[in-house]
């Protein structure tokens, strides 16, 4: 079957091209892709090419399909897996395969026939045998595509831990009913962290403080997650602008009765924030460094006197495991959380190459791609202005406007029905 895909041949060498996929074996699956979201990791793979640890050395001769946050439907199931999967099922893929001997291999980086920026793919035996093909029952494809970044937050919440004095048992997860502060939490990942803290089915803080130095981001967060709504969820929610504070630590502690916090999460790789986070910890508090630094020699100050006498401890995680991803997909499918709070731009597969190359310079959050359509990568905030001359964007502006200017299932259906088609969905 033919596929249209964005393939990586080397450093900054991305090509959108059509080609024939090989026939699937009995241990493989043929699948259609409807949505994928662009990750900063795609940018890193693009600028590094074969120098990237996940990209094969022979990528110039055997190009890979870029992208790893995708969702679609299964088109054909090899004999070996017909007892477990069926044609027509929606799915997602856990990209962290951890293949023995090839620990860095991953869909979207290392394989010729599977990657998110494509209309059709072959899911290989490596994905199948490691139980990394996951089923999804939601009403919109985009929710599953955004489940991978959500799973990073699920994993971060789960890898935090607490213990009682004199006991050597770690109680995993943020402290239920405790106090938590998210530093630099006004961005897209911070919004999802608020969503999970308010609506997730596991541990829930009694008090949640979100800090940022950008008042517009805090105002938008409060618009999406009002304090009154958080109170209904049993959470005392506060938004704090530390941009002009002479003593940010004192300001943030004042919201918690002058006390330190059970959980402190750092959502930006800034040494000063880690120093601040260390000072904000209460007795036996857990500091979670969530943000991923770009430099391997990244360092920051932590008060080790308090590590010794106050039980302060530090954790970090990179990505979520398979259970985190499956749970994220299920939470979205059940309507518990809104993955759309991360999405700020939407486009078609013909917009991906340029968007990926410029990704660090494009403001906002996740860039969502519909692989079968042609559409420039467009900010949701720009829909209304574009709609003054283009009825397509006017309709999208009206739909999103009724949803607090967030992407939604109705907007997805409109794009799939009205956007110019580069490729038809496969019949199942």
pLDDT along the chain (428 residues), means of 10: 97 97 97 96 94 94 97 97 97 88 88 97 95 95 95 96 94 97 96 97 95 97 97 98 96 98 96 97 97 87 96 91 95 95 97 97 95 98 98 98 97 97 78
Whole-Å CA distances, 399 to 167, 385, 407: 54, 14, 8
Each as own residue / partner, the long-range contacts of residues 272-279 (CB below 8 Å, 24 or more positions apart, any chain) are: 272/300, 273/183, 273/184, 274/300, 274/301, 274/302, 275/300, 275/301, 275/302, 276/183, 276/248, 276/249, 276/252, 277/183, 278/302, 278/303, 278/306, 278/312, 279/249, 279/303
Residue 166, Cβ neighbours under 10 Å: how many? 5
- Per the CB < 8 A criterion, the answer to whether 255 and 230 are in contact is no
**Residue 424, pLDDT score:** 84
Residue with tokens 């088109």: 75
47: left (phi over 0), alpha (psi -120 to 50) or beta: alpha
**Domains of the chain and CATH, by start:** 2-136+338-418 (3.90.180.10), 163-316 (3.40.50.720)
Q: Which of 349, 343, 412, 300 is nearest to 149 (CA)?
A: 343
Angle between the N-to-C axes of helices 409-418 and 391-401, in degrees from 0 to 180, rounded to the nearest 10: 170
Q: What pTM value is reported for the model?
A: 0.92
Contact 262, 179 (CB under 8 A): yes
What is the reported pLDDT for 103?
78
Chain centroid, CA 247 distance in Å: 32
CA neighbor of 72 nearest in space, from 28, 126, 134? 134
Question: What pLDDT was estimated at residue 296?
Answer: 83
Residues 339, 340, 344, CA angle at the centre, nearest 5°? 130
């Amino acid at each position: 079957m033919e596929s249209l895909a964005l393939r990586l041949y080397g450093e900054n060498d991305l090509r959108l091209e059509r080609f024939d996929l090989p026939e699937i074996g009995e241990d493989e699956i043929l699948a259609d892709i409807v949505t994928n979201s662009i990750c900063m990791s795609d940018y890193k793979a693009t600028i590094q090419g074969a120098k990237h640890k996940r990209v094969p050395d022979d990528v110039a001769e055997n190009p890979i399909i870029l992208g790893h946050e995708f969702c679609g439907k299964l088109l054909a199931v090899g004999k070996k897996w017909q007892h477990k999967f069926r044609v027509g099922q929606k799915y997602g893929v856990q990209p962290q395969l951890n293949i023995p001997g090839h620990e860095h291999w991953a869909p979207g980086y290392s394989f010729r026939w599977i990657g998110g920026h494509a209309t059709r793919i072959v899911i290989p035996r490596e994905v199948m045998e490691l139980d990394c093909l996951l089923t999804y029952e939601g009403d919109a494809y985009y929710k599953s595509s955004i489940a991978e970044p959500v799973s990073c937050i699920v994993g971060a919440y789960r890898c935090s831990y607490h213990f009682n004095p004199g006991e050597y048992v770690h109680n995993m997860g943020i402290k239920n009913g405790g106090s938590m502060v998210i530093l630099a939490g006004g961005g897209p990942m911070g919004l999802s962290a608020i969503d999970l803290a308010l609506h997730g089915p596991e541990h829930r803080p009694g008090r949640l403080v979100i800090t940022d130095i950008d008042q517009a981001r805090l105002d938008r967060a409060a618009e999406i997650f009002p304090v009154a709504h958080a109170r209904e969820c049993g959470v005392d929610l506060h938004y704090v602008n530390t941009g002009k504070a002479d003593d940010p630590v004192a300001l943030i502690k004042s919201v918690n009765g002058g006390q330190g916090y059970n959980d402190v999460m750092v959502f930006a790789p800034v040494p000063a924030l880690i120093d601040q986070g260390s000072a904000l910890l209460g007795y036996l508090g857990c500091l979670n460094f969530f943000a991923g630094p770009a430099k391997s020699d990244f360092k920051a100050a932590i008060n080790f006197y308090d590590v010794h006498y106050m039980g302060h401890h530090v954790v970090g995680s990179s990505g979520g495991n398979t259970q985190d991803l499956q749970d994220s997909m299920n939470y979205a499918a059940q309507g518990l959380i809104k993955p759309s709070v991360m999405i700020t731009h939407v486009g078609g597969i013909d917009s991906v190459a340029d968007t990926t190359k410029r990704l660090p310079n494009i403001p906002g959050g996740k860039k969502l791609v519909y692989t079968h359509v042609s559409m420039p990568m467009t900010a949701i905030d720009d829909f209304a202005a574009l709609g003054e001359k283009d009825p397509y964007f006017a309709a999208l502006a009206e739909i999103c406007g009724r949803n607090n200017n967030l992407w939604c299932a109705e907007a997805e259906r409109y794009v799939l029905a009205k956007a110019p088609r580069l490729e038809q969905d496969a019949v199942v």
